[in-house]
Copies of this chain bind each other. A is one copy, B any other.
């Protein structure tokens, strides 16, 4: 078991009707910047609940934060935050709105060029506005961590930063807010969560039993309740389990004492930036191919996954591993994310640009062993043609 430091001060209010707790979390007379995305919150009742709880505050709105939030959009919100002397940012939406709002929170207090926050990283963040969240789409875990991914549309750069100063002070998770989500978003969220868990699990064994078993418990829950959420969209417990699983998947708990991978995400981010694929689609393409490419190094954990999560006990180790990968691909496909580049009309000729972008971004040696080069990434994608 490896050494670790764990710290997560975000307060979570989870369950039916919890949006009303905004009244306790945000002081009366605060100047609140309410950030959101495409406007679904105005049709599903969330917006009314939020405004009702903030009746005694001055609320300013900034909508239109897109999936894979654009730097170009966010700097407009930064200008509003500065001009209106905002006290607190309230992000209402999914991971993109929250990630974008983390950038807004930091950039609103930053003196230099705010793109520094992305390129230099969170270390240059000295102050940030307090951030609260009302999560409406379980997927990224951003509601309970220090990370943010921002895309500069002009240059197709999708890059991340992290800082304890942009951790949400509180996050409100009411599973009922997810009932009206399009099936595709729920499905993508389940795949995203699944891969978050795997990035912290599918490496090599270090006898960290707590993190391993927690990861396995969350994987089992996604395998059960991901499909169930598509079949019965208004089953409260299914949505609740999915929502809490997505948060626990990336709030720091699972990485305690274990090595982490994250190469699927690194390669996937380039596919999204270059070709506009959904984040979850890129993960579904990359991860199974990466497992096949790194089968020997990941053997111990692939077998543990096969046995403990998928209950695979028959056949040779080689067969068990291949079956585990196939069953994972089946799950992704069942959740609407097929696992081949060709499923998204991409071919061999689209691969070199990914290799180049990884090189450009300095991602020269990724994965738990720091041995996946941009060339290896291209080879991995060739296994997913």
Contacts and interface: CB of A to CB of B under 8 A. Distances in A.
A244 B217 contact: no
A107 interface: no
Given A210-B218, A213-B218, A241-B1, A14 B6 contact: yes
B213 A221 contact: yes
A222 to B, nearest CB: 10
A5 interface: yes
Nearest to A171: B6
A218 B216 CA distance: 12
A253 B213 CA distance: 14
A211 to B, nearest CB: 8
Interface string A200-218: 0000001111101110111
Copy count, this protein chain: 2
B221 A217 contact: no
A250 to B, nearest CB: 13
Interface in A1-36: 1-9, 11-18, 21
Contacts of A6: 11-12, 14
A22 to B, nearest CB: 13
A257 interface: yes
A208 B217 CA distance: 12
A346 interface: no
Contact of A240 (B1, B17, B212): B1
A207 B9 CA distance: 26
A317 interface: no
Contact of A14 (B3, B21, B237, B240): B3
Nearest to A235: B207
B257 A207 contact: no
Contacts of A241: 1, 207-210
Given A3-B18, A14-B257, A216-B217, A244 B8 contact: no
Contact of A9 (B3, B9, B257): B9
Contacts of A253: 253
A241 B208 CA distance: 7
A68 interface: no
A131 to B, nearest CB: 16
A58 interface: no
A366 interface: no
A220 interface: yes
Contacts of A236: 1
A321 interface: no
Q: Residue among A1, A16, A240, A245 with the most chain B CB within 10 A?
A: A1
A244 B225 contact: no
27 contacts: A1-B15, A1-B237, A1-B240, A1-B244, A3-B14, A3-B16, A4-B14, A5-B13, A6-B11, A6-B14, A7-B11, A8-B9, A206-B237, A207-B237, A207-B241, A209-B221, A210-B221, A210-B244, A210-B248, A213-B214, A213-B216, A213-B217, A213-B218, A213-B221, A214-B214, A214-B217, A244-B256
Given A2-B15, A208-B240, A216-B217, 8 more contacts: A3-B18, A4-B14, A5-B13, A206-B237, A209-B224, A209-B245, A212-B217, A213-B216
Interface of A: 1-9, 11-18, 21, 206-210, 212-214, 216-218, 220-221, 224-225, 236-237, 240-241, 244-245, 248, 253, 256-257
